[in-house]
Structure 1
Amino acid sequence: MVRRASTPSSGWPAQVPPLLQRIYSNRGALDIDAAQPRLAGLLAPDLLSGIDTAVTLLLDAIQQDLRIVVVGDFDCDGATACAVGVRGLRMLGARQVSAAVPNRLLHGYGLSPGLVEELAALQPQLLVTVDHGIACHAGIAAAKAKGWQVLVTDHHLPGDALPPADAIVNPNQHGDLFPSKVLAGVGVMFYVLLALRARLRRDGLLQDPAPDLAQLLDLVAVGTVADLVPLDVNNRALVSAGLRRLRGGQGNPGLQALIQIAGRQAQQLTASDIGYAVAPRLNAAGRLEDMALGIECLLTDDATQAMEMAELLNGINAERRGVQQQMVDEAEAALAILALQDNAEVALAICLFDPDWHPGVVGLVASKIKEKMHRPVVAFAPSEPGSQSLRGSARSIPGFHIRDALAAVDSRHPGLIDKFGGHAMAAGLSLPLHHRALFEQAFIEVVGQMLQPEQLQQQLLSDGELAADELDFVHAQSLRSAGPWGQGFPEPLFDGIFQVLRWNVLKERHLKLSLRHPDCGEPINAIHFGGWTGDAPASRVHIAYRLVTDDYRGGSAIQLIVEHCSNA
């Protein structure tokens, strides 16, 4: 456990308590504008390369009343981006806008030639891809061959060549000057709409009052948090504004229904609630079924319909949890057998495969095993039952760029990988079954050359100890509302030594504790999820923990969420 280096700063407003000043400073936010950014400080849309061409394309489509199809992706970012695109274009005057999304099992990722053939029934004249497209060369070529225009909005890293689209907006294009490279796909689409509205206003084509695109920020917040992009100042401004809408009861009917079905209180919603409760239910549709249901839930304005679809999504998510747990158990069992056979340490990288696994859940399996083993992980499943084609999801550890690693494998072994794409921390790929063993060998070799030994040393970064008078409801509530916390701006974590007064095991996995701070006589409730190892905790423990309000007990109750526990 390592304590963060604190960089105190003066000039904070009186309403920011010393604890928050310390936490913000620990994350490099040295003033209130950096700590709690507002929409007024958003980066300008015209900094994005290709934005003018994209806006002209959309403006012409609106004025000519062309049929526009917004093509989403089958994850939460792609679904929210699709809903933002459809809703936003309608707000700005487009009359013929519809949504489409690939089916994971039928089409694979992105705008594929097969999906293009299905879209022909809609007779589109302009396709707008959201959260994908930068790697969809064949699909875009097929669309262009049919005479359709194509606008790509994406945030994934491009390859050496760009697809033959009419316009591309992606902050990660080579030479793009947009300062923030970590916009989610939904953020990119929102920025395109901002630029389109500005053009309409400039050309005198907007009715008064102008459409309020801030109505879409709840969707932007959910997609941004769900995609685990770093919450830099720009993204935090977007997410904060979206959370304010959701907390104020102004949210999209579909999101409000998902929040309710997940048992969360909208008035106190946090980014963590989005990540752990709302996003998984929306994601489940794309993992096991068809994300069209999730997008439909986000597009309806009927609260009754939204709740009906949210209940369906909740059921799918329950099924997803069961499938995921079975696959994780099988992965852990396979690793245990491998360790016994080799009688050696775990490899620098882990590649997993089971012919019975579901391709929609391998990303979650890779993530769970990555967290457990602290190694880059790639998990594979057949693209469909019995297929000789594999789909894989890769997850990485901090400091190791997983997409660059796949690019290195592809460069050294041309033709080994069919296609790949992604980010620093997560990526996807496909390859033939008979290439799996060679890929595993090549991937581990690349990881061994790119990975630094210190990156394998997992660290918990602590914001230090909390004094006894800081372990109260006021500070817990302050921490809850001080975010949004997330990737690149982590939720506060503290550490300290406590006396264990009582303990018991919940559901054979979790450890429930009653603790006492050295300077406080009152017992404090704590829970360590997955913390039961079969051994009783010591009488004094050193824990890393998060301070939260105890919503289950209500009132002014607090609870410590234990992330790590060792004997003191």
Structure 2
Amino acid sequence: MNAKNPLIDQWHRNRGLTIDSWRAIERPSSRPLARLDELCAALKELHDGGAAVTVLPDFDMDGISAGALGRAGLAMLGFDVRLYHPDATRGYGFGAWDIDRIAERFPDTAAILTCDVGITCHEGVAAARARGWKTLVTDHHTQLGPLGADIIVDPCATGESYEHPSICGAHVLWMVLDRYAELYDPERRRYLFALRALAALGTVGDQMDMSGENRQLMRDGLQVLRVNHDNPAVYATTGCREFDATMTGLAALTRCLADHRELDSADGIDEQLVGFRIAPMCNAPKRMGEPVGEVFDLFADPGGAHRRAEWLHDVNMRRKRAVAGYVAQLRVDEQPYAPNLYLTDAPLGIIGLIATKVLADTGMPVLVANRDLMRGSGRAPEWYDAIDTLNPLGHDLAGHQHAFGFTTDESKLRALADDIARTAADHRPAGDDAATGEDRAAILLDTRGDLGMPFTAADRRMFVEFPAALRHYAPFGPGWPEPDVEVVFHADDIHDMRTMGADGQHLKIRLDEGLDLVCWNQSMPAGDGPWAVRGSLSNNEWRGTVTPQLQGTVRTL
């Protein structure tokens, strides 16, 4: 894999990327999900009988996406469909209480179709079947035992041979509806393509591996979002009320970000915007104890879409401030089980975000628990499968290997912290930096050429062209991370250095070589250097002048 840009070439060499490895990353599963056609046949029977189908989703980004997708897709295919709004305060899953609530709100329900939930909901499934409802489960979580559902479609179900189990719940449901349309309603299949945008949101929101069929899904979904942002009439004028409302809600999200100057144009809609703007907005209500139903209604009420998007933006800003405050408090509190286990007073809804911040700082597995409830969330780097590692040692983790919830008690805290530290040391890949838990940057540069590829002012074009060249390898995410860049520099390389921000809290360094280094909420480390900044390389355009800039973290070598 030879590239014209020297930085891309170095990335290929450092990561051992070849044509074969690239094809392996792009290759989708070669076989369909088990029981897919069986589920479609069951849906066809419900459709032809005019039976009411209630979609039962989870309440995170993937669940919200799956619920909106299911409602819009089934309506487009001519189903009598309802959408249940789960109660986030009751925790993950559904039980008899939810089934009773569905019966009260939608008494004509003949079947439930779950999405992003259900595979572990034995009580809820039994309650649905006890009412005589057809119980159809689509999910992507691991099956832990026999389930009494009529039909299960789940890449992680017992006996499933699907090659790429890291697909989100919304993607699973999209596959079901697409296959249904292929078999029974090919004329309307083309409309379902637009709903890949929702499956893309779920893929990023649930941090699925960016490999296999997820890659084309993201390309398709992002393109739909871009077109929908510029001209919602392309997708939102089909005449199907539920479908059109869903596409209007998606446009309201991206246009809200544009109104707040967080999105310059449709070209800026990428996996980063989804991961750091859209998904946090949709997840914010459950994290802040606000009504999750408002997020579902964003995709159901076109007239209120703009107002709800603005409300989500406001809730998310409050969420950001809350997380920042609790992270700051975490760093000053006495933490007897650090650096792998922390205690906090933060509400459960934002503890996972706190754990994400700590993981970003340390690169090591971390669990954060509410000190009163002894429940919390954890995050782990890709090389540490937390559930498979810690549950056999007597701990109680559930969710995904690298983003999970857990329950413990005070008597187990020391053992839990020690088990994380010991197993992390055993699992850490060779070559990781002992201080940060991170391996070397994918692209390493040094103004003097001692530690990395040398560069001079004559190489400025190489930096300017890098972002566009890199997008050919997008989308990026877990399993296929965007290459980071580290630049080593010395005191005599600094052309200009100044602080930015109202309180001078940010640092900007301009090198003689024509590269800007931007370090948010940081100051220049003491010492005579050399120093290094590691982060993401982009271009800053101001009044027609394009300047390459590396935004990252500065440290002394």
2:60 aligned residue:
75
- Note the C-alpha offset of 1:260: 2.5
Question: Does the CA contact (< 8 Å) of 2:111 and 2:133 recur in 1?
Answer: yes
1:544 aligns with 2:534: yes
Question: Does the CA contact (< 8 Å) of 1:74 and 1:102 recur in 2?
Answer: yes
1:502 aligns with 2:494: no
* Alignment match of 2:384 (pick from 373, 384, 400): 400
2:350 aligned residue:
361
* Alignment match of 2:547 (pick from 555, 558, 567): 558
1:452 aligned residue:
425
1:422 aligns with 2:406: no
Question: Does the CA contact (< 8 Å) of 1:76 and 1:223 recur in 2?
Answer: yes
- Note the C-alpha offset of 1:309: 1.0
Q: In structure 1, how many angstroms separate the alpha carbons of the residues matched to 2:216 and 2:326?
A: 37
Question: Does the CA contact (< 8 Å) of 1:510 and 1:527 recur in 2?
Answer: no
- Note the C-alpha offset of 1:280: 0.7
- Note the C-alpha offset of 1:322: 2.2
Q: In structure 2, how many angstroms separate the alpha carbons of the residues matched to 1:33 and 1:512?
A: 39
Question: Does the CA contact (< 8 Å) of 2:57 and 2:116 recur in 1?
Answer: yes
SS in 1 for 2:148: coil
2:299 aligned residue:
298
1:90 aligns with 2:94: no
1:309 aligns with 2:298: no
Residue 452 of structure 1 aligns with an amino acid whose one-letter code is: A
Q: In structure 1, how many angstroms separate the alpha carbons of the residues matched to 2:331 and 2:296?
A: 34
Question: Does the CA contact (< 8 Å) of 1:510 and 1:528 recur in 2?
Answer: no
SS in 2 for 1:452: helix
Residue 335 of structure 2 aligns with an amino acid whose one-letter code is: L
Q: Give per-residue Cα distances to partners, 1:476-521, cap 9 Å, x unaligned.
A: 333346411111111121222332321214355853323225xx3x
Q: Give per-residue Cα distances to partners, 1:540-568, cap 9 Å, x unaligned.
A: 532223221226x3645234233332336
2:523 aligned residue:
532
User: Taking structure 1 as reference, are residues 565 and 445 closer, same or farther at Cα in structure 2, changes over 3 Å only?
Assistant: closer
2:164 aligned residue:
180
Residue 156 of structure 1 aligns with an amino acid whose one-letter code is: H
Residue 152 of structure 2 aligns with an amino acid whose one-letter code is: I
- Note the C-alpha offset of 1:370: 2.6
Q: In structure 2, how many angstroms separate the alpha carbons of the residues matched to 1:378 and 1:33?
A: 33
User: Taking structure 1 as reference, are residues 554 and 219 closer, same or farther at Cα in structure 2, changes over 3 Å only?
Assistant: farther
Relative to structure 2, which stretch is displaced further, 180-189 or 240-249? 240-249
Question: Does the CA contact (< 8 Å) of 1:100 and 1:292 recur in 2?
Answer: no
User: Taking structure 1 as reference, are residues 450 and 59 closer, same or farther at Cα in structure 2, changes over 3 Å only?
Assistant: farther
Identical-residue share of aligned pairs (%): 24
1:245 aligned residue:
224
Q: In structure 1, how many angstroms separate the alpha carbons of the residues matched to 2:175 and 2:540?
A: 38
Question: Does the CA contact (< 8 Å) of 1:29 and 1:35 recur in 2?
Answer: no
Q: In structure 2, how many angstroms separate the alpha carbons of the residues matched to 1:212 and 1:21?
A: 40
Equivalent residue runs for 1:339-354 within 5 Å:
347=338, 349-354=340-345
Q: In structure 1, how many angstroms separate the alpha carbons of the residues matched to 2:543 and 2:470?
A: 17
User: Taking structure 1 as reference, are residues 257 and 555 closer, same or farther at Cα in structure 2, changes over 3 Å only?
Assistant: farther
Q: In structure 1, how many angstroms separate the alpha carbons of the residues matched to 2:410 and 2:370?
A: 14
- Note the C-alpha offset of 1:311: 0.4
| Equivalent residues, number | 511
Q: Give per-residue Cα distances to partners, 1:166-211, cap 9 Å, x unaligned.
A: 11111122332211111011111111112212221xxxxx263644
User: Taking structure 1 as reference, are residues 266 and 318 closer, same or farther at Cα in structure 2, changes over 3 Å only?
Assistant: same
User: Taking structure 1 as reference, are residues 390 and 114 closer, same or farther at Cα in structure 2, changes over 3 Å only?
Assistant: farther
User: Taking structure 1 as reference, are residues 347 and 480 closer, same or farther at Cα in structure 2, changes over 3 Å only?
Assistant: same
Q: In structure 2, how many angstroms separate the alpha carbons of the residues matched to 1:88 and 1:380?
A: 39
SS in 1 for 2:174: helix
- Note the C-alpha offset of 1:231: 0.1
Equivalent residue runs for 1:15-164 within 5 Å:
19-20=7-8, 23=11, 30-31=18-19, 34=22, 42-43=28-29, 47-94=32-79, 96-105=80-89, 107-121=90-104, 122-123=106-107, 124-159=109-144, 161-164=145-148
Question: Does the CA contact (< 8 Å) of 1:112 and 1:139 recur in 2?
Answer: yes
Q: In structure 2, how many angstroms separate the alpha carbons of the residues matched to 1:291 and 1:28?
A: 44
Q: CA RMSD in A?
A: 3.0
Question: Does the CA contact (< 8 Å) of 1:71 and 1:128 recur in 2?
Answer: yes
- Note the C-alpha offset of 1:80: 0.8
1:276 aligned residue:
276
1:514 aligns with 2:509: yes
2:199 aligned residue:
220
User: Taking structure 1 as reference, are residues 287 and 475 closer, same or farther at Cα in structure 2, changes over 3 Å only?
Assistant: same
Residue 365 of structure 2 aligns with an amino acid whose one-letter code is: P
Q: Give per-residue Cα distances to partners, 1:205-245, cap 9 Å, x unaligned.
A: x2636443211121121221121111013211100111122
Q: Give per-residue Cα distances to partners, 1:31-83, cap 9 Å, x unaligned.
A: 49947998xx7546x52123233222222221112211112222111111111
1:329 aligned residue:
328
Q: In structure 1, how many angstroms separate the alpha carbons of the residues matched to 2:110 and 2:13?
A: 50
2:241 aligned residue:
none
Q: Give per-residue Cα distances to partners, 1:397-452, cap 9 Å, x unaligned.
A: 3311122245325xx47xxx5xx5211101124x5xxx521342443354355333
1:437 aligns with 2:426: no
Q: In structure 2, how many angstroms separate the alpha carbons of the residues matched to 1:440 and 1:452?
A: 18
Question: Does the CA contact (< 8 Å) of 2:141 and 2:156 recur in 1?
Answer: yes
Question: Does the CA contact (< 8 Å) of 2:517 and 2:533 recur in 1?
Answer: no
Question: Does the CA contact (< 8 Å) of 1:156 and 1:422 recur in 2?
Answer: yes
Question: Which blocks of at least 5 consecutive residues in structure 2 are unaligned?
Answer: 233-246, 429-433, 446-452
